[in-house]
Structure 1
Amino acid sequence: MGAIEIVRDPDVIAGFTEDASGLVGTPSGVVRPRDIEDVAEAIAYARANQIPLTPAGRFTSTTGAPLAMEGLCVSMTGFDDPPEVDPERGSVIVGAGVVLSDVKAAAAEHGLLYAPDPTSEWECSVGGTVLTDASGARTLKYGSTRRYVRRIWGVLGTGETICWSRNDAEKNTAGYAPFRNPVDLLVGSEGTLGLVTRVELDLLARPEGYTGMMIFFPTLEGLIQFVLAARASSELSPRAMELFDAAALEILRPHAGGLAIPSAERATAAVYVEEEHGHDEMEEALTPWLELMEAHGALVDDTLVADSEERVLAIRRLRHSLPSTLNERARACRDDGGRKVSTDWAVPIRELPGMIAAADKLCEEAGVHAWTRYGHIGNGHPHFNLVARNAEELQRYLGVSEAMCREAIARGGTVSAEHGIGKVKRDYLKLQVAPSALAAMRGVKMAFDPDGVLAPGNLFPPGAP
């Protein structure tokens, strides 16, 4: 393939076969482009020889999206141009292979904030977050990646090299809504339409200050009512509300370090919240939270207050240890045909109590041996994690996951709130999207990737037009 080498060494390929989904890819080779011309050459080669190409970043995905089940894995980590912050424009231009936390750090040096904060921000690539429309805890206030993508460089499946910019007009009725800003077609496209090499991202002014609190409750039911009350309050404006159930707290205790987590006998659930405020206004900002905590039976004296960047970081890294531990447990079950089954459904906040109760009931009725609930409860988006210990349990737990998705849709929700569809959830997409809309999505795919070589198996079954 011209100037680009296809690596066929099995030992090298082995490093490009796993993400956090539990699936294992089977690429026949690895391509590592260094510039946009290399990407265009790789796509031309793939089209001429009908060889699938699956782009990959740093393999933090939970859906199998970066895994090549056939053909070549295209590693995009070589696009490592460091962040170039333009304070006047309020944006940053960065290579798709750069780790997201580096972007956030570069913005902070200029007193700016890049808001999206997936749990894997210290490990994931910028391009991966764009292609999955990633979000995170602070989505509650700031929204997902999509709204921050101003410009995209890359190569479509047609071979066309692009630099698309968002239309910033305050009013725009030019054509069908999804096509008024072509940038939005690529955000969340999971590599099925084109390969992204560089992006420009919008930045925000950093808040003057904020405080985090990890609030413990004797019951999950009390915590849920607390969350609903906080969302309804006109005095509070949380930028994050993260759930930890009893099983999650049990996982966190050994990793807590200097953070004092109450015993299991006293605390069966916790929620981590963040509230922004001005300088010297912490007490005023937290007073309504204290009143709400007391009204809903929180263990007020056990609350962990994070009033510094260091302490907030300690809690956020503690939160990160939760999925890492569950992934390790799932990996130990792989030889017996097991893996982790992780949900990504979300429902309107008003449906949250009924949805959690229904999901718990589905787990109980299916004989799930244990499940862990954690994550973005403030958005109506808690993750249920079920670790299947063998192949029989895996099939049963996948059935539970599908049933949860059906329940979420019936309550006005979605099957995928932040991780995308990938390969793991593609069978759920048709539960939510009407056949005519799915046909339109396939039509877009064919227009951008007429030979069907990009990311086969993502969003649509392999071989689907």
Structure 2
Amino acid sequence: MIIKTDNDTIQNYLSDASNLKGISNRVIIPENKDELKQTITQLYNNNDSFVISGAGTGLTGGKVPDNDVIVSIEKLNEIIEINPQKKYVRVQPGITLLQLEEALNKYDLYLPPNPTEKNSSLGGNVANNSSGSRSFKYGPVRNFVTELAIFLPNGEELKLKRGKNFAKKNKMTLMTEENCLINIEFDQIIPPNTKHSGGYFLKSNMDVIDLFIGSEGTLGVIEEITLSLNQKPDKVLGLLIFFDSEKNLLDFTDSIREKSIVNNEIRIDLNNDIAARLIEFFDENSLELLKDKYPQIPLGSKGAIWIEQEYTEKNENEILEKWFEEISLFTSFADSTWVATNENQHNNFKDFRHQLPLTVNEIIVRNKMRKIGTDTAVPTQFFREYYYYVKEMLKVTQLEYVIFGHIGNSHLHANIFPRNESEMKKALEFYELIIQKSIDLGGTVSAEHGIGKIKKKYLKQMIGESGIESMKKIKNILDPKNLLGRGNLFD
């Protein structure tokens, strides 16, 4: 076990990618499962509040301490087992997505949701119920978590397997490895009918494992994760499609989204029609930022859509024909579409996608101000109303911005780049308006980044005082001393 108390050596543990900075005077780094259990038990018995620290890539301050002891999982980073036949992997929580992907590549296996930040930890991904570009087809990480081993805040161990323990209406029972029986009665919280990552999963007759997925380090400490995997498809088609009008882009998105939802239910080898696994959006301002590096972007482009589709070689020609027939109906730039069918071409697409946040960061450094970025999503039937409202409110601010994101899930990131305090005030006013509009349309305040400490007032705005009290009731049963992850999700 490693313990750090020197102020200089613990600085990197005090903040995450949100730049929120906390206070702590001790970091404990367990090097194995037994040390993790020992650490948690001692902290609980000593009434010491503590927070779990993963890779530090979070955007909502979830790992940031508030005079808490920091327990880092960085040394718990082993792959315990890869089973290529049954297509699953067991890992410790500190392993990163990049490390996992590199190990799975040897077996042609992959984790379908594809969370964006490859340096994030798997424990963080499960605690946040993370999503990614392929969540349009495959949903969030929750859908692939089959088993969890968790230390409760008092150090007792809980093992959960999907399909083995269900709530009976609004009552659930947990049995720890130490034979402690825990009875929980809960109030259901109806989540928005959209992509969503915010608050406890509380649903009648739910699988109990889902309570801990997305609980943001407030109910227990993940010590082992089992994930189901997919075999890599024979082929993947990538297309980057440019549009001559915003309306045509939105019409195209509606068309391919509807077709893909239907056709993604068909086995890949039997499908010869449009079936996107991801549908991503770049607005006109995003393309403007990238045009110096990518001069082949057509002049006059009002936006772009990036898609990928899994297929087999035998139906490649038919699928390409279907896509270009569809594209030609909605843009005069059909002949300028970028195509990727091999690894090098797909890597070029990834470079294009990653160049945008790099360029955004250059602007932030230049302006010497933090950006303001939304993570809201709405039900698809209200997406156009939401999108045009966002554009209109951005126009009112007269600030520099880009919009990009997961348009297949009706989920976009509007990023504003203030240059001074006056512009920051306008940007924050815009943010509040977009949060309220998303709620009014039945959407979410957090589609993939979670709530943490930064967004908890917006979670309350979305689910109300009664929803917060429903979560607190669960928290009080599993952590009656309120020592683990204080200040995450609610006060």
The correspondence for 1:8, drawn from 2, 5, 8, is 5
Distance 1:9 1:107, change over 3 A: same
Q: Which residue in the other structure is 1:220 paired with?
A: 246
SS of residue in 2 equivalent to 1:159? coil
- In the alignment, does 2:249 pair up with 1:249? no
Hey, what does 1:174 align to over in structure 2? 168
The percent identity for this pair of structures is 31
- Matched with 1:195 is 221
What residue in structure 2 maps to residue 330 of structure 1?
364
In structure 2, how many angstroms separate the alpha carbons of the residues matched to 1:395 and 1:458? 25
What is the match of residue 154 of structure 1? 150
Q: Which one of the candidate residues 83, 86, 91 is aligned to 1:94?
A: 91
Equivalent position SS for 2:300:
coil
What is the aligned-residue RMSD (CA, Å)?
2.2
Number of matched pairs: 447
Secondary structure at 1:188 match in 2: coil
2:196 maps to none
**Matched position secondary structure for 1:374:** strand
Instruction: For structure 1, list consecutive stretches of 5 or more residues without a partner in the other structure.
Output: none
The alpha-carbon distance between structure 1 residues 15 and 150, as it changes in their structure 2 partners (threshold 3 A), is same
- Which residue of the partner structure matches residue 360 of structure 1? 391
TM-score, structure 1 normalization: 0.90
State the shift of 1:96 in Å: 0.9
The corresponding residue for 1:125 is 121
Structure 1 range deviating more: 293-302 or 384-393: 384-393
Tell whether the 8 Å contact from 1:228 to 1:350 is kept in structure 2 after alignment.
Answer: no
SS in 2 for 1:150: strand
Q: Post-superposition shift, 1:107?
A: 2.9
CA distance change for structure 1 residues 192 and 381 in 2, over 3 Å: closer, same or farther? Answer: same
Equivalent position of 1:144 in the other structure:
140
TM-score (ref. length: structure 2): 0.85
- 1:231-246 aligned at under 5 Å gives the runs 231-233=257-259, 235-246=273-284
Q: 1:116 to 1:178 in 2, by over 3 A?
A: farther
In structure 2, what is the Cα distance between the partners aligned to 1:167 and 1:65? 29
State the alpha-carbon separation in 2 of the partners of residues 358 and 272 from structure 1. Answer: 23
Counterpart in the other structure of 1:262: 297
Q: CA deviation at 1:168?
A: 5.6
CA distances 1:42-67 after superposition (whole Å, capped 9, x unpaired): 32333344433121211111112122
The answer (yes or no) to whether the contact 1:57–1:128 under 8 Å persists in 2 is: yes
- For the 8 Å contact 2:399–2:423, the answer to whether it is kept is no
Q: Does 1:207 align with 2:233?
A: yes
> Do 1:79 and 1:95's aligned partners in 2 also have CA atoms closer than 8 Å?
yes
Distance in 2 between residues matched to 1:245 and 1:83, nearest whole Å: 42
Residue 416 of structure 1 is matched in structure 2 by: 446
Amino acid at match of 2:441: R
Amino acid at match of 2:377: A
Find out whether 1:32 has 2:63 as its counterpart.
Answer: no
Runs of 4+ aligned structure 1 residues displaced above 4 Å come to 331-334
* Letter of the structure 2 residue corresponding to residue 384 of structure 1: A
SS of the residue 1:238 aligns to? coil
Contact 1:255–1:318 under 8 Å retained in 2 = no
The 3-state SS of whatever aligns with 1:281 is helix
Q: Aligned-pair distance for 1:347?
A: 1.1
Gaps of 5+ in 2: 171-202, 263-272
- Write the distance in 2 (CA, Å) between the matches of 1:411 and 1:44: 44
